[in-house]
Structure 1
Amino acid sequence: MSRLLLFLVVALLAFPAGSLATTETKALSLGDRVARIVKPAIRKADKRLSRIERELLSLPELYNGPRGSRFGFHSETIADQRAPHHLQIDLGESRSFDAVVLMPAHLPTRGAEGEGYGFPLRFKIEVSDTPNTGFKLLADHTGADYPNPGRYPIRFPANDLSGRYIRVTSTKHVAAKEGFIWAMEEIMVLAGNYNIGSSRPRSASSVQELFPNWSLWRVNDGISRLGSPHNTIRSPSNGFLSAPSESGSHPKWIVIDLGESLPVEEIRIIPTSSDDPEVVGGRGFPQSLVLELSNDPDFQTTVWRATQSRHPLGYPWTSAFVRASNGQPGRYIRISTNELFARGNLHSLALAEVQAYLDGANVALWQDVTVSDQASRTDTDRWAPKYLVDGYSSTHKIIELPEYIDLIIERGALEKERSGLLLQQEEDTDIALAGITAGAGAIGGVALFGWIWMIFRQRSVRIRDAKKLRKQISRDLHDDIGSNLAGIVLISEVGSRNARASTEIRDDFREIHETAEQTSEAMRDIVWLIHAGEATTRDLFMKMRESVGLIVGNLETSVQASPPSFKNRPIELQVRRHFFFAFKEALNNVQRHAQATSVDILFELTPHQVTFEVCDNGIGFNPDNVGGSGHGLKNFRRRAERVNGQFEINSIPTEGTKVRFSAPLNHKNK
């Protein structure tokens, strides 16, 4: 045994930490290095993990951020776990199709428990030409429990079946409070490059309408975490941005000339997801719009017309807005609106892409575009009418839906394999270290190693318990308080628009609406912070960009990162908390006190430190005359001290203010 220990010491000296770590991971601890020497399977898993990481870089990512309160379909509470309950989509006529895709519901605030929320344990998919009889099996998973798919979609080939009605039946539901339930975010029916089930009539044997969280019509509204289909090629453009108007009712329009009259089958409008402060948060998507198809460039006559009134939950997030145009022949497509969302006191129209489909292909690509007006800012080089038909969204190159779903499913399989390998590595490491500990004990060191191992295990248990507590708090906040606040926001909005109520009552409703929205936003920040404790610097940066639009969206803003494409790094919960709230406090100070017209924001990241800088052109002040508490200076210093960070403020009366706040990624490191 003493020879074995001697071998391990020599091996550790011969192999530096970096040579035993994969290129994707940080330097290994002493225990991990020892385990890799005595356990070849761990080294083999390292190589596979490295290949998986490289493959994941070539695959698009599924959107996992917040999406307001849109979750999908949710059944009522069911008393009998095995009582069949179904969900059915009417295609309007008997159709042949390629596949049915099920998108599981995902509740991010519940952590791992929210992945695949309510997905039936057993189910079947059937097709028929009549609504109640004659169903033929497309997929049958009623004999044994189906593995929960987590966040990723499942594709079921049609196998040459055709029909009008697509039915998904849950035959074994998921346990819930006081009974059983099942849920689904989205059901798609793919035929070529089309989702022919989108927005078609749907019905269910059991449904729970918990607006705005759950609703039957959301199960095929085309809005899901899949978003717009894309690959990993970054977009060179943002799309189109109109000139800002002082009134939200100012008419805006876009006309696309297809070059010839074509029987267009479907029109798709992709919202912008740009970080430009003028449209951040989807503000560029119109509250209502009119879609028209004509052979007359002046649209004196139209061959097809569709209207979309204001959606109760705003724009379709990263998903496309899709309307079937039924093959009507037309040369010109017009999108018009006179109801715009606001950025402070200004209103703009912004879209990333417009597509017109015929025989499964986009015939609007690189066609001529004319617009009512366009932005004339000097920093709008990524915005132009021609970018509405360049084949890119605001972030990536657009691909066809079936290809995209296959890539997303492939990514899900790789992530599942990666999780399994990491878990197996952890178990193999524990076994290897336990064996070494036992061997060392045979020569007299068992007490020392056992003591160290006990401390390590106790620490792991405490960390695991803390994570469980954070998830529980996050879930309770979201489910109980979040749902109540969403209801208050909607009810107060309806009350503020009630023409029969007095002016005083409508003003009270507006005040309630604003307070509830502010409280809801603060709660979402807290839920995000404590959700799982695993957020990264990229997550933090995106959350900070979102806050810019919400707090100082009425000002001219510039948001930059240094370096522009920084490496994603983990950031400790306490550091993230104080850093994020210090940033929001800096923005609120600009909004409330600075009387500024513009603000420049810089986000810096080094291997060991994260920094933000907020500069405004406001009235400024003399920091020496503030007394340590005005403008939140006391809070800034307290937050910096809590994470061993640094806080600096430079301000000159009439010349503006610059706030700089830095913190180590791990608050124990100075």
Structure 2
Amino acid sequence: MNLLPDRFSRWIAESRRWRLILLVGGLGMLALMMTLVLRVDGRWLPAEVRRLQQEEAYLSSTVDRDVLYEPQDPLRAGFHTRYQDSADANEWVIVDLGKEFALDRIVLAPTCIRDNNNRLVTGYGLPRHVKIEASDTEDFASPRLLAERQLNASETTGRYPIQFVSHGRRGRFIRVTLSELADKDGQYFASLGELIVISGNRNVAQWRPLKTSSSIETDMRWSVEFLVDEFSILSAPQIATPSSTDGYLVRDTLTLPHEIVVDLGQTYDIDELRLYPAQPKSEPFTPGWGFPARFRVEVSQTADFADPTVLLGFEGFDLRHWTDRPLIIPVGTRPFFTRNQPLFAASPSESIPEMPVDPVTARFVKVYVSGSDSRLSPPVIALAELQVFAGNENVALGKSVSASETSERWSSSALVDGFNSRWKLIPDYDWLVRIKRRQFDEQALQKIRGELGNAYSQLWRRLAAGGGATILVIIGSLTWGMTSERARAKRETKRLRDRIASDLHDDIGSNLGTIRLISQTILMNPHCDDELRQDIHEIAKIATETSDSMRDILWLIKPTTMNLDEFVGRLRQTANRMLGHCQLQVDVTENIPAMEVSVAWRRNVFLCYKELLHNLQKHGHPEHVSIWIEYRAPRFQIVITDDGRKFHPATVHRGEGLANIEKRMREIGGHIRFVQQDRRVATLQTKIS
């Protein structure tokens, strides 16, 4: 009686297989036709398509991949004019370079802000027309035109800085006039992120005094002085040559103040200093790691600094230079950094504040540190690079530096090796030229790819028109098959998600409820007989099933990978977040390798670690907690010491948390150990295969 339905079912299954075979055959025929028409050597391609392919291949190979450029999120937005009633209004800003310079390049960095959805928006408030003039006097009685142009569509996107080549023409005062203003709800304004004036290899407009036609002044967001404050969409001038060092490090900050002294070998006329923050691989999420909070910078002609010149004094407040960009200290603007002298005129009718520009003659440079980075526990002092410019040359490169902690990636010589913690540093002028070249190449490549896409579209239309009904049928079959497959994949994905949600709710939730019910029954039973032993056996069985189900689901959902050094950084962050109310000290052994750890190992260690911190916070109530993380191949160990309320693991109520910790450690071949002395000590130890 069941024979006919079985044969009918087999016929249905076979018909589906043949339909799949026809679909694959059609795909093969189409691939054969495309191979004949779109040959690799382009023999039968139209001449225009072959030409575009060759240009695309050439441009792809010539784009400068070494230039590390991506628009940055600056700490301060920049310069913002007041709102005007008409887009035809002109706004201007003047910068006093202090003396006449040969001007090689004028660069305008667009403003970069975050919108209400916390997305990065480049090119905010960028005007459509720019004119740049130079003069020997502040009143611009005889201005000299350096550049004037209407900004094109690619420039107004704000992804790249806008560069004007000035061919060595000279001037002391630079005026930038902005017109065809940006529109915001019927009001018109202009904004810029940074004004850069390149002479040789230096930005001679850095921290120079200014005045403007109008300006909105708000704390830490908009100010005319933020136009020359070194913060913009531009990153540090670096290329993709990896650094083998992290920089200069001092861990024993109990001996503050600390002095970092560089001997330049001879006296130089110093124009500028740069301090690059450290960002070691072990701290990828902490920009400005270890940058001094309070310090001053001095130079002197003698090693005893008997008659020093102070270039910068940040000793009265904590400087939070938590960024990857260098702190740039022009010698000529030391009154601003040491006496807080105003940097810009209060109104357009006032004169620009006078600021010296002559270099300081010195041989020795000292960074006198009196306060460390308050984010770190224990505190450290760290710098990636120190540069000293005399004219266009970094005269500190390779010079002698006072001793620091020495390890594989930290040393005193690493402070003057020409690298920050990640990449090689290059001169500003060379970097800007390479950025401009890359911008042109990317625009040309984008244009060629657009034309090539249009050419391919025309070619496909010719194939469709000339192929006849066979090609149309094959394309139709393929389209139907692909659509059906996508629809089936979507249904399968939805069913999988529904099944995971159902398993989490029904299977695991039911098992945990059963565990609680059986546990209550045991507590109510005063005798230990066979029934009790069966209940205990059932509890173990259900717990095992629940754990297995959870591991399977987690393995399906998040099969990501992570290196050990990144994992240790995550442990440090978790401790700081969960134990922020305690006096916390986290120490990590040196030279944590960048080796990959498995998902199962990472999950078990992290959950045990987090459970211990949770229990410590909830039950121990400690005041002092120290954590030591150590790796000595193949052993990985975490030691947590605290002065909280004592307990004994053998007598304390063993809830699910402690049992889960022991179980997870056994799964990865490790163990947990508790020691009660003057302080409580918990040790997690396992191996990494």
Common fold: TM-score over 0.5: yes
Contact 1:97 1:190 in 2 (8 A): yes
Amino acid of the structure 1 residue aligned with 2:274: R
Amino acid of the structure 1 residue aligned with 2:594: A
After superposition, the Cα gap between the structure-2 partners of 1:129 and 1:590, relative to the gap in structure 1 and judged at 3 Å, is farther
Alignment match, 2:410:
383
How many residue pairs get aligned? The number is 521
Q: Does 1:182 align with 2:204?
A: no
Contact 1:121 1:145 in 2 (8 A): no
Q: Which string of whole-angstrom CA distances, capped at 9 and with x for unpartnered residues, describes residues 22-73 of structure 1?
A: xxxxxxxxxxxxx998677666655555544544464221244544x42222
Q: By how many angstroms is 1:345 displaced?
A: 3.3
Amino acid of the structure 2 residue aligned with 1:395: R
Question: Which whole-Å CA distance do the structure 2 matches of 1:424 and 1:548 have between them?
Answer: 50
Alignment match, 1:354:
386
Alignment of 1:333-352 (within 5 A): 333-352=365-384
Question: Which whole-Å CA distance do the structure 2 matches of 1:349 and 1:168 have between them?
Answer: 40
Contact 2:112 2:232 in 1 (8 A): no
1:117 to 108, 124, 139: 124
Q: By how many angstroms is 1:172 displaced?
A: 0.9
After superposition, the Cα gap between the structure-2 partners of 1:182 and 1:262, relative to the gap in structure 1 and judged at 3 Å, is same
Alignment match, 2:326:
319
After superposition, the Cα gap between the structure-2 partners of 1:628 and 1:304, relative to the gap in structure 1 and judged at 3 Å, is closer
Alignment match, 1:485:
none
2:228 to 212, 220, 224: 220
1:414 to 430, 433, 441: 441
Q: Does 1:253 align with 2:253?
A: no
Contact 1:76 1:206 in 2 (8 A): yes
Contact 1:251 1:337 in 2 (8 A): yes
Alignment match, 1:230:
238
Alignment match, 1:281:
287
Q: RMSD of aligned C-alpha atoms?
A: 5.0
Alignment match, 1:81:
87
Q: By how many angstroms is 1:317 displaced?
A: 2.7
Q: Which string of whole-angstrom CA distances, capped at 9 and with x for unpartnered residues, describes residues 603-636 of structure 1?
A: xxxxxxxxxx9974448999x9764899999xx9
Contact 1:246 1:345 in 2 (8 A): no
Question: Which whole-Å CA distance do the structure 2 matches of 1:615 and 1:225 have between them?
Answer: 42
Q: By how many angstroms is 1:388 displaced?
A: 1.4
Alignment of 1:648-663 (within 5 A): 652-654=672-674, 655-656=683-684
1:397 to 402, 405, 424: 424
Q: Does 1:555 align with 2:586?
A: yes
Q: Which string of whole-angstrom CA distances, capped at 9 and with x for unpartnered residues, describes residues 324-357 of structure 1?
A: 2642222211111101113543222211222222
Alignment of 1:99-498 (within 5 A): 99-107=105-113, 114-134=121-141, 135-142=143-150, 147-148=155-156, 150-246=158-254, 250-277=256-283, 280-308=286-314, 310=317, 313-315=320-322, 317-324=324-331, 326-371=358-403, 374-375=404-405, 380-437=407-464, 442-443=469-470, 445=473
Percent of aligned pairs with the same residue? Answer: 22
Q: Which string of whole-angstrom CA distances, capped at 9 and with x for unpartnered residues, describes residues 262-308 of structure 1?
A: 32222222222323449942132111321111123122222454323
After superposition, the Cα gap between the structure-2 partners of 1:64 and 1:657, relative to the gap in structure 1 and judged at 3 Å, is farther
Amino acid of the structure 2 residue aligned with 1:263: D
Question: Which whole-Å CA distance do the structure 2 matches of 1:400 and 1:88 have between them?
Answer: 25
Contact 2:236 2:324 in 1 (8 A): no
Question: Which whole-Å CA distance do the structure 2 matches of 1:283 and 1:171 have between them?
Answer: 41
Q: By how many angstroms is 1:414 displaced?
A: 2.4
After superposition, the Cα gap between the structure-2 partners of 1:313 and 1:383, relative to the gap in structure 1 and judged at 3 Å, is closer
Q: By how many angstroms is 1:205 displaced?
A: 2.1
After superposition, the Cα gap between the structure-2 partners of 1:345 and 1:252, relative to the gap in structure 1 and judged at 3 Å, is same
Normalised to the residue count of structure 2, the TM-score between the two structures is 0.63
Question: Which whole-Å CA distance do the structure 2 matches of 1:112 and 1:430 have between them?
Answer: 34
After superposition, the Cα gap between the structure-2 partners of 1:252 and 1:143, relative to the gap in structure 1 and judged at 3 Å, is closer
For the residue of structure 1 that corresponds to 2:437, the secondary structure is: helix
Contact 2:294 2:319 in 1 (8 A): no
Alignment match, 2:337:
none
Q: Which string of whole-angstrom CA distances, capped at 9 and with x for unpartnered residues, describes residues 170-220 of structure 1?
A: 211222234233222111111112211000112222323343333322211
Question: Which whole-Å CA distance do the structure 1 matches of 2:217 and 2:129 have between them?
Answer: 23
Question: Which whole-Å CA distance do the structure 2 matches of 1:136 and 1:540 have between them?
Answer: 57
Normalised to the residue count of structure 1, the TM-score between the two structures is 0.64
Contact 2:110 2:233 in 1 (8 A): no
Alignment match, 1:27:
none
Amino acid of the structure 2 residue aligned with 1:307: G
Structure showing greater Rg: 2
For the residue of structure 2 that corresponds to 1:59, the secondary structure is: coil
Question: Which whole-Å CA distance do the structure 2 matches of 1:629 and 1:435 have between them?
Answer: 70
After superposition, the Cα gap between the structure-2 partners of 1:122 and 1:448, relative to the gap in structure 1 and judged at 3 Å, is farther
Amino acid of the structure 2 residue aligned with 1:598: W
Worse-matched range after superposition: 548-557 or 319-328 = 548-557
Question: Which whole-Å CA distance do the structure 1 matches of 2:44 and 2:148 have between them?
Answer: 47
Contact 1:264 1:328 in 2 (8 A): yes
Unaligned runs of at least 5 residues, structure 2: 1-25, 333-357, 488-559, 577-584, 617-624, 643-648, 675-682
Amino acid of the structure 2 residue aligned with 1:351: L
2:32 to 4, 7, 10: 10
Contact 2:253 2:372 in 1 (8 A): no
Contact 1:122 1:145 in 2 (8 A): no
Q: Does 1:597 align with 2:597?
A: no
Q: Which string of whole-angstrom CA distances, capped at 9 and with x for unpartnered residues, describes residues 1-27 of structure 1?
A: xxx999854345789x9x969xxxxxx
Unaligned runs of at least 5 residues, structure 1: 22-34, 459-536, 565-574, 602-612, 637-646, 661-670
For the residue of structure 1 that corresponds to 2:434, the secondary structure is: helix
